[in-house]
Amino acid sequence: MSEHSIRRVVGGVSAFAIAAGFAVVTGSGVAQAASGTVDWWDGNSHFTRTVSNTTPAEGDVVTVSTKFERKAWTTLEILYGVKDVHAPCLTYVEGSAKVDGSPRGLDSQGADFAKVAGSWTVYPNIDPKSHTFEFSYKVGPDCARDTALQSGMHYSGSLGSGTYDNKGPAITVGKNASTTTLAAVTGAQVGQAVTLSATVTGGANGDTVDFYDGGTKIGSGALNNGVATYSWTPGNRGSHTLVAKFPATAKANASESGAQSVQITDADANSSTVLAPVGNAQVGRPSVLKATVSPAGAGGTVTFKDGAAVLAEVPVPANGEATYTWVPSTSGAHAISAAFSGRAGVTASTANATITVAEAPAGNVSSTTALAIGGNPTVGASNMLSAQVSPGNAGGSVTFKDGDTVIGTAQVDANGNAGLAWTPATAGQRVIKAEYSGAGNVNASADSESVQVAAAPGGGDGGNGSSLFGSS
């Protein structure tokens, strides 16, 4: 009978374990790894089995090696196959198998083993006196935590075979380190829902994150791709201290975010915008569009539109009344809207009205408006905008605009002149418009010009305009 034919299946560690610490970088940060070694004799064969890290974290790579030797002055043995047995939650790292330090392709593998095959002679007294078989595995997320996961090996050789399923060393996967970060919360108001968002590393989909306002838990959210959210509606204004806490799970340690001080303000006041009625509107004749915003106060703008076409964007003054002199160019029903943009502490609102515009009287006189822009417009420097209206003695006013934004309005003097000092606020290509309102039996007219505004050499803020001809 051959020497190995009477070997028994050994089910446990029968020798000793040696631990040595060294640093490794893992998916959870820098951890202290402890290698482990067991050795045993079976007849005249000596086995030394080493695990590079017996306390890995999820995502770490663990290398397992088994060294095979023969007792001196005994018979040599030829090894034909070595199967390394591991926990199913460990995944074999492709290409990692080695024999005596040289890469070796696998003969076969399964969920809980990896095997190499070949022919390796172990001599008792001459070299090679040993052969070492090495396999590497990645620690998966399904590994139980703080639980000893056994390992072992099988082999076949010329003298028989050996089966050592639980020789070890055992591997104990520690819980994941976790971090929790609470996203910045801004603009929160009483009675208005705001989304709290926490990012957690080390957790898993479905794990719970709890959100706290001071010492009070206000709600929870489940992790989805590392992020948990909760919709919170503050009940009172003032300072609130928010924290996101990730409780410990079976696979991860607890963590919590830093405390975030959030100032909750009262909810914005609702605004209303009302368009004043417009009567006797005619083509070519000025009609004043007036939008009254409540509550009154300076800030924000009102954008007047005729259907989808923007007529003007007008700043709202302290009395809440924004006006624009509109000169219809076509008769019929016009859908006029006035949209208030809102301001700090006040919501936006919109008013709509349908205004019927009559044809211009047959006896009306046409007018012309010629816009002139003085100098070379530069940010922060005053520039002259002037308009010459013909016929010159018609009266009325000219509204100057930068695109759709009203710069200001000037009255037409007895010579048909109206003008403003304009201080550009921003550099770039601009379209300046001069819109004559018309007066009496003189129809409205307009002119526009494209101009390049240069940047200020030393910076500076622009402004609107002030009337130079007539009164605004």
Residue 186 contacts residue 29 (beta carbons within 8 Å)? no
pLDDT band at residue 109 under the 50/70/90 scheme: very high
Question: Residue 23: pLDDT above 60?
Answer: no
Is residue 309 pLDDT above 70, yes or no? yes
Return d(Cα 263, Cα 182) in angstroms, integer.
Answer: 15
Structure tokens at 129: 């006196």
pLDDT band (50, 70, 90) for residue 306: very high
**Structure-token match 């590994």, residue found:** 143
- The rounded percent of the chain whose pLDDT value lies above 90 is 78
Q: Note the pLDDT of residue 394.
A: 87
Cβ neighbours, 10 Å, residue 101: 8
Does residue 259 surpass a pLDDT of 90? yes
**pLDDT value, residue 295:** 95
Q: What is the pLDDT of residue 6?
A: 26
Residue 20 has pLDDT above 50, yes or no: no
Rounded distance between C-alpha atoms, residue 263 and residue 185, angstroms: 9
Query: Given this model, what pLDDT does residue 3 score?
Result: 31
Residues 335, 354: Cα–Cα separation, whole Å = 5
Residue 202 has pLDDT above 90, yes or no: yes
pLDDT at residue 467, rounded to an integer:
47
3-class DSSP state for residue 10?
Answer: coil
| CB burial string 258-286: b at 16+ within 10 A, e below | eeeebebeeeeeebebbbeebeebbbbbb
For each of the domains in the chain, give its residue range(s) and CATH number, in order of start: 18-172 (2.60.40.2260), 179-264 (2.60.40.10), 272-358 (2.60.40.10), 368-469 (2.60.40.10)
The pTM score is 0.57
Q: What is the pLDDT of residue 459?
A: 53
Average pLDDT of the residues in 183-199 = 94
Average confidence (pLDDT) over 87-115: 97
Residues 6+ apart with CB under 8 A from 261: 239, 240, 241, 242
pLDDT tens for each residue of 153-178: 999 999 999 999 999 999 999 999 99
How would residue 466 be classed by pLDDT, with cut points 50, 70 and 90? very low
Contacts of 345 (CB under 8 A, 6+ apart): 266, 268, 269
> What single string gives the DSSP state of each residue in 278-345?
--SEETTS-EEEEEEEES--S-SEEEEEETTEEEEEEE--TTSEEEEEE--SS-EEEEEEEEE--BTT
Confidence at residue 360, expressed as pLDDT on a 0 to 100 scale: 82
The sign of the CA dihedral 87, 88, 91, 95 is: positive
Average pLDDT score over residue span 417-443:
91
Per residue in 383-426, pLDDT tens?
999 999 999 888 999 999 999 899 999 999 999 999 999 999 89
Contact 60, 46 (CB under 8 A): no
Mean local confidence (pLDDT), 67-96: 96
Give me 238's structure tokens.
């003032």
Q: Alpha-carbon distance 297 to 283, whole Å?
A: 33
Across 3-17, 143-157, 435-449, least confident range: 3-17
- Whole-number Cα distances in Å, 380 to 75, 270, 384, 468: 100, 36, 13, 18
Q: Among residues 273, 271, 268, 293, which one has the least CA distance to residue 345?
A: 268
Q: What is the mean pLDDT of the chain?
A: 88
Confidence of residue 31 (pLDDT cuts 50, 70, 90): very low
CB atoms within 10 A of CB 471: 9
pLDDT of residue 32: 60
Q: Which helix (H) or strand (E) element contains residue 38?
A: strand 29-42
**205, 224 in Cβ contact below 8 A?**
yes
